[in-house]
Amino acid sequence: MSNLSRRKLITTGLAATAGAAGLGVAARLAEKYGLIPPDHGGFYGLGETLTYASQRLLTRHSLAREFSRSQISKPPFANEIPPPNDAFKRLQAGGFTDWRLDINGMVARPASFSMAQLKSYPSQSQITMVQCEEGWSYIAEWIGVPLSHILQAVEVHPHARYVVYYSIDPDWWESIDMADALHPQTFLTYGMNGDELPVASGGPLRLRVPRQLGYKSVKYITRMTVTDNLKSFGKGLGSASPEGGYAWYAGI
């Protein structure tokens, strides 16, 4: 009996030590390979970290599903939007010709792009699905320029890890890691279904991140900051979403 319990104790002890050491190594590796989300603290941190880490490992290069033209949702669905602010209305009155996208942070050449400059890059299109965390969805054709082309133009520092992006609505800002920022389907979009991008859908400029839920595809983009650390942005949780109780990573 005592032999058995001693053996059990030793085995359990060894297993616990190995487990703790394993967890320690896993945490170190996860940090090194960027598998820890900025909202990893708190009660839900473990689940959030497991989701982000596993999906990042599984989906680093995978492409969002693309659909045929006949699958485009008719009529195009537009989610309710907050009433545009005065700054937006002024730019809208001018036909958005003065709309600008500023990019700064860890880049060699901080720049301010006009809509005309963005449109001078070869445009691409994708027919992808927008999924809302509420449960509804629609498919549309999105026309724009891959964010990676713009990031190449401003020359992103090799140690950069995130791109923080802001809507003209000051309460709406998000960030994505470089895997998503440089992903070939992450577009700065200015067109939809063969036309201009309607205001209701985020026009004149919306960032599309098709491998994440709709709230990461921020409408009315005016500003981006490239960084290696999200701690100094807002409350340090990565974006406005965790500050409002929603997960930073929205791949599920």
148 is an interface residue for another protein by CB under 8 A? no
Residue placing its CB nearer to another protein in the complex, 79 or 114: 79
139 is an interface residue for another protein by CB under 8 A? yes
121 is an interface residue for another protein by CB under 8 A? no
Q: How far is CA 83 from CA 25, 243, 244, in A?
A: 48, 21, 19
Residue placing its CB nearer to another protein in the complex, 21 or 63: 63
Q: Which of residues 25-54 bind another protein (CB under 8 A)?
A: 43-44, 46-48, 50-51
How far apart are alpha carbons 67 and 127 in whole angstroms? 5
DSSP 182-236: T-TT-EEEEEETTEEPPGGGTTT-EEE-TTS-GGGS-SSEEEEEEES--TTSTTT
Residue placing its CB nearer to another protein in the complex, 104 or 148: 148
**Under 8 Å between Cβ of 216 and 176:** yes
- Omega within 30 of 0 (cis) for the link into 75: yes
122 is an interface residue for another protein by CB under 8 A? no
φ, ψ at 118 (rounded to 5°): -65, -40
Element (H, E) at 144: strand 137-146
How many residues bind another protein, per CB under 8 A?
Answer: 43
67 is an interface residue for another protein by CB under 8 A? yes
Q: Which of residues 203-242 bind another protein (CB under 8 A)?
A: 210-213
Binding site for another protein (CB under 8 A): 1, 3, 43-44, 46-48, 50-51, 55, 58-59, 62-65, 67, 71, 73, 75, 77, 79-80, 129, 131-139, 210-213, 244-247, 251-252
